[in-house]
Chains A and B, each alone.
Chain A
Amino acid sequence: EAGVAQSPRYKIIEKRQSVAFWCNPISGHATLYWYQQILGQGPKLLIQFQNNGVVDDSQLPKDRFSAERLKGVDSTLKIQPAKLEDSAVYLCASSRRQGNEKLFFGSGTQLSVL
């Protein structure tokens, strides 16, 4: 079974620029997550989708971050405008169903904001 696909692998931008990350979850997985992992810390949940609906976005900085999951498959996470503190690895994960904690993670996008 193909894993969670993410692109790009790396991204370098200047502060105040915008950036977008793409994720394609494992086929058939209803639940999709975006996590932010700052160097030296564990992953922190930004947003959780169940199919194409948002289940939890309580930790998403909504003034600059947005995410969508059109048609309940692929997802895009956008940052606009970026700040220095947004430098992190952005991980996408999926699971078969809501409440299933066995998450399958992609390799992540390493974002550097200069």
Chain B
Amino acid sequence: DQQVKQNSPSLSVQEGRISILNCDYTNSMFDYFLWYKKYPAEGPTFLISISSIKDKNEDGRFTVFLNKSAKHLSLHIVPSQPGDSAVYFCAAGLISSGSARQLTFGSGTQLTVLP
């Protein structure tokens, strides 16, 4: 049962335009959401996060939007740059035991920014 879904395996965008990556989740108990970026042959690196009590978080060119009623979050990259080309994973966090929070990852979206 995939609790976190990224339905677009790939996305191509022209340099300078906006990239929008989408993620849907099914478990309403998730209370924290994150985006990670992964380059080939490297581990994922943290990009941006948002708590379920917020609906928007911004960090430079990156903005994450959360729509709890639709169980949907999105990552906006403006403007997109060729160096943004990578696989983007969304992840959702849930308190599992004690204070441990387990992250569930989506399957990723390959973003290609064309020069």
Stretch at the interface among A13-21, A62-70, A72-80, A91-99: A91-99
B45 at the interface (CB under 8 A from A): yes
Known: A4-B43, A43-B44, A104-B46. A98 touches B100 (CB 8 A): yes
Known: A55-B100, A98-B99, A101-B32. A42 touches B43 (CB 8 A): no
B49 at the interface (CB under 8 A from A): yes
Name 12 extra pairs, CB < 8 A, besides A99-B100, A102-B46. A4-B43, A42-B106, A42-B107, A43-B105, A44-B105, A48-B102, A50-B100, A56-B96, A56-B97, A98-B99, A98-B100, A105-B36
Count residues of chain B with CB under 8 A from any CB of chain A: 28
8 Å CB contact of A103 from B6, B41, B46, B108? B46
Instruction: Give the number of A-B contacts (CB < 8 Å).
Output: 63
CB-defined contacts of B73 to chain A, threshold 8 Å: none
Secondary structure dominating the interface of A? loop
State A42–B37 Cα separation when bound (angstroms).
12
A107 at the interface (CB under 8 A from B): yes
8 Å CB contact of B89 from A40, A43, A106? A43
**Which of B44, B98, B100, B108 is the most central at the interface, judged by chain A CB atoms within 10 Å of its CB?**
B44
State A48–B97 Cα separation when bound (angstroms).
11
CB-defined contacts of B45 to chain A, threshold 8 Å: 104-105
CB-defined contacts of B106 to chain A, threshold 8 Å: 42
8 Å CB contact of A99 from B46, B89, B99, B105? B99
The answer to whether B43 and A107 touch across the interface, beta carbons within 8 angstroms, is: yes
**A41 (CB) vs chain B CBs: closest residue:** B107
The answer to whether A40 and B46 touch across the interface, beta carbons within 8 angstroms, is: no
